[in-house]
């Protein structure tokens, strides 16, 4: 019996599982990053993003529901690697003036991964006719973009100067 050919709906579901897993891992990493941050502004940004990320997980569960699937993650090696790089920065730069700049860079790597995933999922949801999913994914994409801009501002206005 020949294997059934995979289509965009299969790819959409597979990628949805990937980002669902990634968001759950990010939820675990953000408190560690907040604890490690030296700047009160950076700590606050990580704490606020953790709360926001809980909303991302809830929205993803809604998207799963909209397509008639149970919310389930699939191991995302990419996010595990990015999070591991963040852990290494915390260990290697602990107590140094460069720690916060490294944390900002690590957090932006996470944001850029998420922005790529949400942008792709939004385009695929549109192609597949999942209008409600498009709206949910766009809302999260907007929040991830806003967080990335905030991190850039923190880097430029303070953490990079402290590291230099």
Superfamily of domain 8-163: Ferritin, core subunit, four-helix bundle (1.20.1260.10)
Q: Domain residue spans in the chain?
A: 8-163
Residues 85, 136: Cα–Cα separation, whole Å: 29
- Residue 1 pLDDT > 90, yes or no? no
Residue-wise over 73-93: b if at least 16 C-beta within 10 A, else e? Answer: beebeebeebbeebeebbeeb
- 138 pLDDT tier (thresholds 50, 70, 90): very high
Residues 8, 40: Cα–Cα separation, whole Å: 44
Question: Average pLDDT, whole number, for the chain?
Answer: 96
CA distances from 81 to 2, 23, 154 (A): 35, 14, 24
Question: Taking a C-beta distance cutoff of 8 angstroms, is the pair 121, 15 a contact?
Answer: yes
- Residue 68 pLDDT > 60, yes or no? yes
State residue 52's pLDDT score: 96
Q: How many helices (H) and strands (E) does the chain have?
A: 6, 0
Question: Taking a C-beta distance cutoff of 8 angstroms, is the pair 73, 85 a contact?
Answer: no
Residues 100, 108: Cα–Cα separation, whole Å: 12
What does the pLDDT average to over 86-111?
A: 96
Question: Taking a C-beta distance cutoff of 8 angstroms, is the pair 56, 115 a contact?
Answer: no
């Amino acid at each position: 019996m020949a294997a059934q050919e995979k289509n965009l709906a299969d790819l959409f579901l597979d990628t949805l599982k990937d980002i669902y897993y990634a968001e759950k891992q990010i939820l675990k990493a953000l408190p560690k990053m907040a604890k490690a941050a030296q700047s009160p502004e950076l700590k606050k940004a990580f704490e606020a993003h953790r709360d926001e990320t809980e909303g991302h997980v809830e929205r993803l569960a809604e998207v799963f529901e909209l397509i008639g699937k149970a919310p389930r993650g699939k191991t995302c090696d990419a996010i595990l690697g990015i999070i591991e790089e963040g852990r290494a920065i915390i260990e290697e730069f602990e107590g140094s003036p460069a720690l916060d700049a490294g944390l900002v860079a690590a957090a932006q790597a996470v944001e850029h991964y998420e922005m790529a995933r949400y942008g792709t999922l939004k385009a695929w949801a549109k192609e597949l006719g999942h209008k409600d999913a498009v709206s949910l994914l766009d809302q999260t994409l907007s929040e991830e973009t806003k967080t990335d801009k905030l991190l850039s501002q923190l880097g430029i206005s303070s953490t990079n100067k402290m590291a230099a």
